[in-house]
């Protein structure tokens, strides 16, 4: 079974992330069902070196398997937002067409500088990809 087979499977996936990724020092992720076919995932994953991932996902399963309808993932180091991902469409930006609507906001002008995010999806969990990205950043500095 994949984590997106049901809300319960995704819940199990989310609440066992620390077991699979020892780099996570703390998790405040909470998955809450908000209606018969709708849920939200909110919270933070903390890592060494004051790094954290702030997570928001809006989930539904009215058309079959669980899907992400929208998301925001913010990577922080201390009090500085280093980059973030969101699924807000930017159809007039041809540089993002390859992964539309998935994209990443990066420096130097983090609000306006966007790059494609081909590893993110609505049909499968994104958290593993994001955690591995943070781990690569953590261990590259060691």
User: Which pLDDT tens digit goes with each residue over 60-95?
Assistant: 987 678 999 999 999 999 999 999 999 988 878 888
- Which residue range forms the structural domain that includes residue 46? 7-140
The mean predicted confidence, pLDDT, of the chain is: 90
C-beta separation of 54 from 64 below 8 A: no
pLDDT at 132: 95
pLDDT at 63: 67
Look at residue 59 and tell me if it is in a domain. yes
Look at residue 38 and tell me if it is in a domain. yes
Q: Is the pLDDT of residue 9 over 80?
A: yes
C-beta separation of 52 from 80 below 8 A: no
3-class secondary-structure state, position 67: strand
88-110 pLDDT tens trace: 888 788 888 889 999 999 988 88
Q: Residue 87 is encoded by which pair of tokens?
A: 């699924």
Asked if omega into 108 is within 30° of 0 (cis), the reply is yes
Instruction: Give the chain's domain count.
Output: 1
Look at residue 65 and tell me if it is in a domain. yes
127-136 pLDDT tens trace: 999 999 999 8
36 by Cβ neighbours in 10 Å (0-12 / 13-18 / 19+) ranks as: exposed
Look at residue 2 and tell me if it is in a domain. no
* Model pTM score: 0.91
Look at residue 1 and tell me if it is in a domain. no
């Amino acid at each position: 079974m994949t984590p997106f087979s049901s809300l319960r499977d995704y819940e199990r996936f989310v609440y066992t992330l620390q077991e699979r990724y020892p780099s996570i020092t703390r998790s405040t992720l909470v998955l809450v069902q908000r209606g018969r076919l709708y849920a939200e995932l909110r919270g933070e994953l903390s890592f060494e070196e004051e790094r954290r991932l702030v997570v928001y996902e809006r989930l539904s399963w009215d058309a079959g398997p669980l899907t992400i309808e929208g998301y925001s993932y913010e990577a922080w180091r201390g009090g500085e937002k280093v980059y973030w991902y969101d699924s807000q469409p930017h159809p007039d930006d041809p540089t993002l067409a390859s992964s539309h609507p998935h994209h990443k906001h990066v420096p130097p002008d983090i609000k306006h500088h966007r790059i494609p995010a081909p590893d993110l999806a609505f049909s499968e969990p994104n958290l593993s990809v994001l955690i591995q990205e943070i781990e690569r950043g953590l261990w590259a500095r060691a």
